[in-house]
């Protein structure tokens, strides 16, 4: 069974502990690292290569700046951004461009986002059979 490899990088300690407690007993999810220092995130992603990065969502109406940079370098990774004080979570992934979905801010919502496979967009083939 493939385990979802998760790096938890939430600054608020309480949020980090809640996330870790939520996924601790899940047999298909493995926490491969954690940090509270935003300066370490890029280096940890480079070294660990997680399937999912969980970060704090500071501004719920705008995508965190680190998303564009990391998804540009590691398009296979997904990012779950959580804003507990606003009861809001957003799931980001890259496929040609960066996409996102609202996530229910609950134990089930977080676990479903971690396990979710991104929707793939089928590109139309041109007459030569190549994808455009």
Ordered by start, the domain boundaries in the chain are 4-115
80 is written with which tokens?
A: 């779950």
What is the secondary structure of 1-22 as a DSSP string?
-PPEEEEEE-SSHHHHHHHHHH
* Segment 105-127, tens digit of pLDDT: 888 888 888 887 665 444 344 44
Query: What pLDDT does residue 60 have?
Result: 67
Query: What pLDDT does residue 26 have?
Result: 92
Query: What pLDDT does residue 47 have?
Result: 96
* Burial class (CB within 10 angstroms; exposed 0-12, middle 13-18, buried 19+) of 2: exposed
Q: What whole-number distance in Å separates Cα of residue 63 and Cα of residue 83?
A: 12
Q: What share of the chain is helix, strand, coil (3-state, %, to 5)?
A: 35, 30, 35
* Segment 52-84, tens digit of pLDDT: 999 888 776 778 888 888 998 998 899 998 886
Residue corresponding to tokens 């990391």: 70
Query: What pLDDT does residue 128 have?
Result: 43
Query: What pLDDT does residue 92 have?
Result: 80
Torsions phi, psi of 43, nearest 5?
A: -65, -40
Domain range 4-115, CATH architecture = 3-Layer(aba) Sandwich (3.40)
Tell me the average pLDDT of the chain: 81
Q: Percent of the chain, pLDDT > 90? A: 27
Contacts of 124 by beta carbon, 8 Å cutoff, 6+ apart: 131, 132
Query: What pLDDT does residue 125 have?
Result: 43
Closest-CA residue to 106 (of 88, 81, 91): 88
Contacts of 77 by beta carbon, 8 Å cutoff, 6+ apart: 45, 49, 50, 51, 52, 53, 70, 71, 93
Averaged pLDDT for residues 29-34: 93
């Amino acid at each position: 069974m493939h385990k979802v490899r998760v790096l938890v990088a939430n600054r608020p300690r309480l949020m980090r502990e809640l996330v870790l407690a939520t996924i601790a007993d899940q047999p298909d999810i493995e926490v491969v690292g954690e940090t509270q220092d935003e300066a370490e995130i890029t280096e940890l992603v480079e070294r660990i290569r997680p399937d999912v990065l969980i970060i704090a969502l500071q501004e719920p109406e705008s995508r965190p700046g680190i998303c564009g940079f990391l998804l540009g370098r590691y398009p296979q990774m997904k990012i779950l951004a959580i804003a507990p004080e606003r009861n809001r979570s957003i799931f980001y992934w890259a496929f040609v461009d960066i996409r996102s979905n609202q996530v229910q801010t609950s134990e089930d919502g977080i676990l479903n986002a971690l396990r979710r496979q991104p929707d793939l967009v089928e590109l139309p083939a041109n007459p030569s059979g190549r994808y455009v």
